[in-house]
């Protein structure tokens, strides 16, 4: 009689990790072809051949490879510690199960793919002005903005109501730091946690749509630089001079005004750096936070309502801080809401997603 030998823990971990990586094969194919397209696109436009990928490796490794894993494991450790004594062993087994660890390992590899993805996005974004030898749509977008807001540039309303230095500082911190933590913390959670498996494909598809379709395709088709750069790209320095004067009261390099000057210097000198590239329409900032709000709303109406209040805050902040025309945010919301329900409809039964994963993950 042959004795049944249970699988060793690390064999189970390896098997679970391999299965998750195979299930994510579609994502890696998408990143590969997107990157290949980006390189060809830049070459055909007559770019220098330099890309932004290297600029993303170190900073995003620190965020995705160190900071966020430590935070995630810290939360897991807290879950174990706060359990009652009799439930603590069960909590420990759940937190450090082979399924949880496989999700973390496969997710970390996916985050490396996202670093490559982000480098490609920026490489393409930097090259978009080569399509038109500049930014041809700022006058049109600014005029539409003024028309929609009863003949007034909407930033004037916002600064008229909340033009204090304290408000500006709070909005600056929220728009840059809190937004980044929420949006990239969201994709890290989906990539590394088995709790997000039910929305994994839908979320990642929409994440890529926000960057590729909203941030590259539509941005390239309707290229504009935004109010902060309106004078430089149109020659009309007077229209948003008052806004820039208000923003320049905080010239620190980490402020929106300082970062806007940094971006313009990169553009003028054709430097491929972290966060480089200028495009306003549609707003990727608004697109990503809207995407997250939609997923939150599907889990909780209350939290979803709060999430959409935050979306409104980001839209208003983008105008207040000179990054965007209001229509940039309005169009982003409409695009992402439409895309969200379209993708959900495509994957409603899961059959299409399962078939795609099965096809792409075949290894023989």
Residue range 295-325, pLDDT digits in tens:
999 999 999 999 999 999 999 999 999 999 9
Task: State residue 174's pLDDT score.
Answer: 94
Task: State residue 20's pLDDT score.
Answer: 86
Task: State residue 2's pLDDT score.
Answer: 46
**Backbone phi and psi for residue 322, each to the nearest 5 degrees, phi listed first:** 80, 10
- Are 209 and 284 in contact by the 8 Å Cβ rule? The answer is no
Percent pLDDT > 90 in the chain is: 55
What is the C-alpha to C-alpha distance for residues 243 and 237, in angstroms, rounded to an integer? 11
What secondary structure letter does DSSP report for 282?
S
Task: State residue 345's pLDDT score.
Answer: 87
User: What does the block give as tokens for 129?
Assistant: 């002005």
User: What does the block give as tokens for 153?
Assistant: 């540039």
Burial state string for 52-85 with b = 16 or more CB within 10 A and e = fewer than 16:
bbebbeeebeebbeeebbeebeeebeeebeebee
Task: State residue 27's pLDDT score.
Answer: 94
Radius of gyration of the chain (CA): 23
Angle at 281 between CA 280 and CA 285, to 5 degrees: 65
- Are 319 and 325 in contact by the 8 Å Cβ rule? The answer is yes
Task: State residue 241's pLDDT score.
Answer: 93
Q: Helices marked H in the chain — which ranges?
A: 9-23, 25-44, 53-60, 68-82, 88-95, 98-127, 129-132, 138-148, 154-161, 165-173, 179-192, 200-209, 219-221, 230-234, 241-247, 256-269, 284-299, 301-320, 326-346, 351-361
- Are 225 and 278 in contact by the 8 Å Cβ rule? The answer is yes
167's CB contacts (< 8 A; 6+ apart) are: none
Task: State residue 94's pLDDT score.
Answer: 60
Cis peptide before 261 (omega within 30 of 0): no
Q: Where are the domains of the chain?
A: 9-354
- Are 187 and 114 in contact by the 8 Å Cβ rule? The answer is yes
Task: State residue 360's pLDDT score.
Answer: 46
What is the C-alpha to C-alpha distance for residues 81 and 83, in angstroms, rounded to an integer? 6
Q: Give the global pTM.
A: 0.86
Task: State residue 90's pLDDT score.
Answer: 54
Helix (H, G, I), strand (E, B) or coil at 11: helix
Q: Give the residues of the chain that fall short of pLDDT 50.
A: 1-5, 349-353, 355-356, 358-364
Task: State residue 29's pLDDT score.
Answer: 95
Task: State residue 208's pLDDT score.
Answer: 96
Q: Which of 119, 121, 125 is nearest to 224 (CA)?
A: 125
């Amino acid at each position: 009689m042959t004795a049944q030998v249970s699988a060793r823990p690390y064999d189970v971990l390896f098997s679970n990790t391999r299965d998750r990586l195979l299930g994510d094969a579609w994502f890696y194919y998408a990143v590969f072809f997107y990157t290949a397209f980006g390189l060809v696109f830049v070459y055909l436009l007559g770019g220098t051949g330099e890309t932004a990928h290297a600029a993303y490796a170190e900073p995003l490794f620190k965020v995705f490879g160190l900071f966020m894993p430590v935070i995630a494991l810290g939360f897991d450790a807290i879950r174990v510690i706060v359990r009652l004594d009799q439930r603590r062993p069960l909590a420990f087994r759940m937190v450090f199960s082979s399924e949880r660890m496989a999700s973390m390992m496969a997710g970390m590899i996916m985050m490396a793919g996202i670093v490559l993805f982000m480098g490609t996005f920026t490489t393409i974004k930097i090259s978009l002005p080569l399509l038109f030898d500049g930014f041809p749509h700022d006058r049109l977008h600014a005029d539409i903005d003024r028309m929609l807001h009863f003949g007034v540039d909407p930033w004037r309303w916002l600064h008229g109501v909340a033009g204090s230095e304290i408000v500006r500082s709070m909005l600056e911190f929220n728009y840059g730091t809190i937004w980044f933590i929420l949006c990239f913390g969201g994709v890290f959670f989906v990539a590394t946690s088995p709790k997000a498996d039910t929305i994994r494909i839908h979320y990642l598809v929409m994440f890529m749509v926000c960057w590729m379709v909203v941030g590259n395709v539509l941005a390239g088709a309707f290229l504009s630089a935004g109010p902060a750069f309106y004078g430089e790209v149109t020659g009309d320095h007077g229209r948003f001079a008052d806004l820039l004067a208000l923003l320049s009261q905080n010239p620190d390099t980490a402020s929106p005004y300082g970062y806007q000057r940094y971006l313009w210097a990169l553009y003028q000198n054709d430097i491929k750096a972290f966060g480089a590239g200028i495009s306003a329409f549609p707003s990727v900032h608004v697109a990503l936070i809207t995407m997250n709000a939609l997923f939150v709303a599907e889990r909780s109406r209350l939290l979803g309502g709060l999430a959409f209040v935050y979306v409104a805050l980001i839209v208003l902040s983008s105008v207040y801080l000179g990054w965007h025309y209001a229509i940039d945010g309005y169009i982003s919301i409409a695009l992402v809401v439409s895309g969200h329900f379209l993708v959900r409809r495509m994957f409603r039964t899961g059959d299409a997603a399962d078939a795609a994963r099965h096809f792409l993950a075949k290894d023989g």
